[in-house]
């Protein structure tokens, strides 16, 4: 596809300053291109300003609070007489962290001489944009090429579209609520819903999670998911599965939202649920609204609404590229978006682009314990023609897990019987985001299960899970048959 890249591209306009857009701008500037970045709100996008960073900060704080307030989780001999929570200070601290990181990105762009324009852009033609400036007025811009990096937005079902803040909240609003609700409803048992459900529950909020599916996280190993779901329920989260929310009514004087719920399995089975606040997070869709892509001749997928791209990240217009969550067929993950940004810059600079690395994308759920996966599941491997075998390891076999009271964890690997190559891995564990990276590299580099077994791991450590599960797969487990 590299031959189809328009020659002599020197100047680019990037629409969207999230983890796809700002990283593309940085790397393109490093490669000597002239860059203009258009952002409607703040650089960093949803991930930095309202999503990844804020949610992980909240998770970190809620874990501290939960461990101290649930005295049974502290090590024997350690006692804490009193613990309190100041939500206003915590939420202000989360915003300070966001501002600090945002300032760093803005400074980096400035030093690299990237022109940043605050405003909303739409295509006038395939070769020009009109930008409605945040400060007022508008201007028309032209460049050799354009990059669409507008990300994704929350998909809000019709039943909630008439509800306004502060009753129905998005992830952009939930971290700035003035006080914690007593009862919080969360629509969506996906990654975002589960992470925030546990965080708010650990801060003392009664949490109800509603989803149309019959369970959580169908893309992960069922046994690991069952362990995680049981833990979340033991902590107090109530799940409402197969739930069709037919109505949502606000009673402002009583400070509540009443949800009318019908069972998808039995429509005659109906109930109501009262909550003070509602977080709507059932999913996300490509953010192409307002771009006037029809003026540019850019094709979108009829089902997803995402921009259709080729292996060089080009849209149906060779000089218009799309990266990140706005694209069709790519995982909506910040690290995928960032990789797109790097790949685009390297491609335009005539370097090896590394797009094939996206065949191995780690996915993380930042609950406690964390859940992570990479590569193929057993079913996916067999569908692709492999004769594969799955081996799992309960963390009861790990000394570090006993020390840390995390023996409910598990790790598993999927191995090709013919070659011994690692095809996939999953892990339910503290620090799963770091631990899964070893298997990501193993798969990327073509390592075999024997390679993993022969690699010396530190002791005692949770990373020994990969050593132990590899040994077990080979038929000579050390601490477990």
The secondary structure of residue 279, as a DSSP letter, is E
Of 93, 301, 459, 479, which is the active-site residue? 459
Cα 390 vs. chain centroid, distance in angstroms?
26
Angstrom distance (rounded) from CA 171 to CA 456: 42
User: Is residue 206 exposed (0-12), middle (13-18) or buried (19+ Cβ within 10 Å)?
Assistant: middle
Contact 381, 439 (CB under 8 A): no
- The answer to whether 473 is a known catalytic residue is no
Angstrom distance (rounded) from CA 386 to CA 377: 11
378 CB-near residues (< 8 Å, 6+ apart): 388, 389, 390, 414, 424
Angle at CA of residue 323, ends 322 and 327, nearest 5°: 75
Angstrom distance (rounded) from CA 252 to CA 59: 29
Which ranges of 113-239 does DSSP label H, i.e. alpha helix?
171-174, 191-202, 222-234
Q: Which residue has the tokens 């490509």?
A: 286
The secondary structure of residue 117, as a DSSP letter, is E
Give the catalytic positions in this structure. Answer: 459
């Amino acid at each position: 596809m590299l031959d189809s890249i328009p020659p002599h591209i020197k100047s680019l306009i990037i629409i969207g300053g999230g983890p796809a857009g700002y990283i593309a701008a940085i790397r393109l500037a490093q490669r000597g291109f002239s860059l203009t970045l258009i952002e409607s709100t703040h650089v960093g996008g949803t991930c930095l300003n309202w999503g990844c960073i804020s949610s992980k900060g909240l998770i970190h704080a809620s874990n501290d609070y939960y461990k101290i307030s649930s005295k049974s989780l502290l090590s024997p001999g350690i006692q804490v007489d009193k613990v309190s929570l100041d939500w206003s200070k915590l939420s202000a601290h989360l915003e300070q962290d966001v501002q600090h990181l945002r300032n760093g990105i803005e400074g980096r762009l400035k030093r690299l001489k990237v022109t940043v324009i605050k405003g909303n852009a739409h295509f006038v033609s395939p070769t020009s944009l009109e930008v409605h400036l945040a400060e007022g007025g508008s201007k028309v811009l032209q460049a050799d090429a354009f990059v669409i990096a507008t990300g994704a937005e929350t998909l809000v079902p019709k039943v909630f579209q008439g509800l306004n803040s502060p009753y129905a909240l998005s992830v952009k609003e939930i971290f700035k609520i003035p006080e914690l609700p007593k009862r919080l409803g969360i629509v969506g048992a996906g990654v975002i819903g589960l992470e925030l459900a546990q965080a708010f529950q650990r801060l003392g909020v009664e949490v109800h999670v509603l989803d149309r599916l019959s369970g959580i996280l169908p893309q992960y190993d069922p046994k690991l998911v069952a362990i995680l779901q049981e833990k979340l329920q033991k902590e107090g989260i109530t799940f409402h599965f197969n739930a069709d929310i037919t109505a949502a009514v606000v009673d402002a004087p009583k400070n509540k939202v009443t949800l009318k719920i019908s069972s998808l399995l039995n429509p005659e089975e109906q109930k109501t649920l009262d909550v003070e606040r509602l977080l709507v997070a059932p999913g996300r869709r490509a953010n192409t609204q307002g771009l006037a892509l029809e003026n540019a001749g850019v094709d979108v997928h009829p089902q997803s609404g995402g921009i259709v791209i080729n292996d060089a990240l080009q849209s149906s217009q060779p000089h218009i590229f799309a990266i990140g969550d706005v694209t069709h067929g790519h995982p909506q993950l910040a690290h995928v978006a960032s990789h797109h940004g790097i790949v685009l810059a390297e491609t335009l600079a005539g370097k090896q682009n590394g797009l094939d690395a996206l065949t191995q994308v780690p996915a993380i759920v930042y609950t406690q314990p964390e859940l992570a996966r990479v590569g193929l599941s057993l079913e996916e491997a067999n569908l692709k023609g492999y004769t594969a075998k799955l081996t799992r390891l309960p963390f009861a076999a790990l000394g570090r897990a006993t020390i840390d009271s995390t023996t409910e964890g598990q790790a598993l690997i999927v191995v090709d019987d013919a070659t011994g190559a690692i095809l996939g891995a999953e892990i339910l564990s503290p620090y799963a985001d770091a631990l899964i990276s070893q298997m990501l590299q193993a798969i990327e580099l073509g390592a075999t299960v024997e390679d993993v077994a022969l690699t010396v791991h530190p002791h005692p450590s949770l990373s020994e899970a990969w050593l132990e599960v590899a040994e077990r797969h080979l038929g000579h487990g050390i601490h477990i048959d």
